[in-house]
């Protein structure tokens, strides 16, 4: 296949480039580098099956030649990023998705949207199934990301129903692994960075809020299977093993040998920060034969090794 991946220099986009190239496909990567980094794809320089285009997908997208698939992963994806770039986040979710769908439609290509568990907001249903409509604060600080992705899902399904575009929607739950930015503000790089510097881990609130952490290779496998499936409605991809942020901090300190402990900052939680997060992956299991294979400790060991090298 010949594939366009937007957000190709980001954490997930770069791993997707690797996977599709490894499977023998041709990949065109596109990124405006607002939050992405060419370091993530530097190892692909000279690969005759990969081409990178620096471009902002909120503008009209033109690709010469045929395309078999478009994977739209361009977007700020961490709170620190979408709070810093709220307008850009909304634009890439709306205009960027519209333009990516447009090129998929014009090429007769399959389209896959990177959506998020954040479309469920601070959920009143637990664990979250794909049928749950969510509990989102549209005007809160996190709303720029949540609503951008909700709109992206809506326009994706509109193109599917109106224009017959062959669409896929993956709802991504907390994913971690190498190539995350150390300063992206998410809990995994925050904790690992603090631990490797010998600092106490900063837990926001009392640490009772829960997350479910999925290692990046598991997520990429799920996305690959979803693209090759014939299912159009959203599919949760994530690890259903749920734990509190406090428990997670304790595991990070143990694996890094950090003796500095944990401190609590009650006023650091962003308004609308979900109290619980756990995917119901029944649909992924039944439709894709997918479930996560990498346990938390193994995944964290790989991630810690990556950040240790970056900090050295």
For the chain, how are helix, strand and coil distributed in percent, rounded to 5?
40, 20, 40
Q: Are 4 and 103 in contact (CB under 8 A)?
A: yes
For residues 190, 82, 279 and 231, what is the CA-based torsion angle, rounded to 10 degrees? -140
How far, in Å, are 25, 146, 153, 282 from residue 18 at the CA level?
10, 28, 25, 27
Helix axis angle for 296-311 and 245-256, nearest 10°, is 60
Q: Are 68 and 104 in contact (CB under 8 A)?
A: no
Q: Which residues are catalytic?
A: 145
């Amino acid at each position: 296949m010949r594939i366009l991946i937007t957000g190709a220099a980001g954490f997930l986009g770069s791993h997707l480039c690797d996977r599709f190239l490894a499977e023998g496909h041709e990949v065109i990567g596109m990124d405006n580098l607002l939050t992405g980094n060419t370091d993530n794809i530097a190892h692909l320089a000279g690969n005759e099956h990969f081409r990178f285009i620096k471009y902002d997908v909120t503008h009209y997208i033109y690709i010469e030649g045929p395309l078999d698939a478009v994977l739209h992963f361009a977007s700020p994806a961490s709170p620190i990023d979408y709070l810093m770039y709220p307008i850009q986040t909304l634009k890439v979710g709306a205009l960027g998705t519209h333009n990516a769908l447009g090129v998929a439609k014009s090429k007769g290509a399959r389209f896959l949207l990177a959506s998020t568990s954040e479309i469920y907001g601070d959920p009143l249903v637990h664990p979250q199934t794909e049928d749950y409509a969510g509990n989102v604060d549209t005007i809160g600080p996190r709303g720029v990301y949540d609503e951008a992705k909700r709109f992206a899902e809506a326009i994706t399904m509109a193109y599917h129903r109106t224009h017959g575009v062959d669409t896929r929607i993956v709802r991504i739950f907390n994913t971690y692994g190498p190539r995350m930015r150390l300063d992206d503000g998410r809990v995994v790089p925050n904790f690992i960075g603090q631990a490797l510097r010998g600092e106490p881990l900063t837990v926001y609130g009392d640490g009772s809020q829960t997350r479910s952490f999925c290692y990046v290779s598991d997520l990429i496998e799920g996305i690959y299977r979803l693209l090759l499936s014939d299912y159009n409605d959203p599919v949760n991809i994530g690890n259903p093993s749920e734990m509190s942020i406090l428990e997670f901090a304790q595991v990070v300190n143990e694996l890094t040998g950090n003796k500095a402990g944990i401190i609590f900052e009650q006023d650091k939680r962003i308004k609308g920060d979900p109290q619980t997060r756990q995917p119901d992956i029944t649909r992924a299991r039944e439709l894709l034969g997918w479930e996560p294979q990498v346990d938390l400790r193994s995944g964290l060991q790989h991630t810690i090794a990556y950040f240790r090298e970056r900090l050295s």
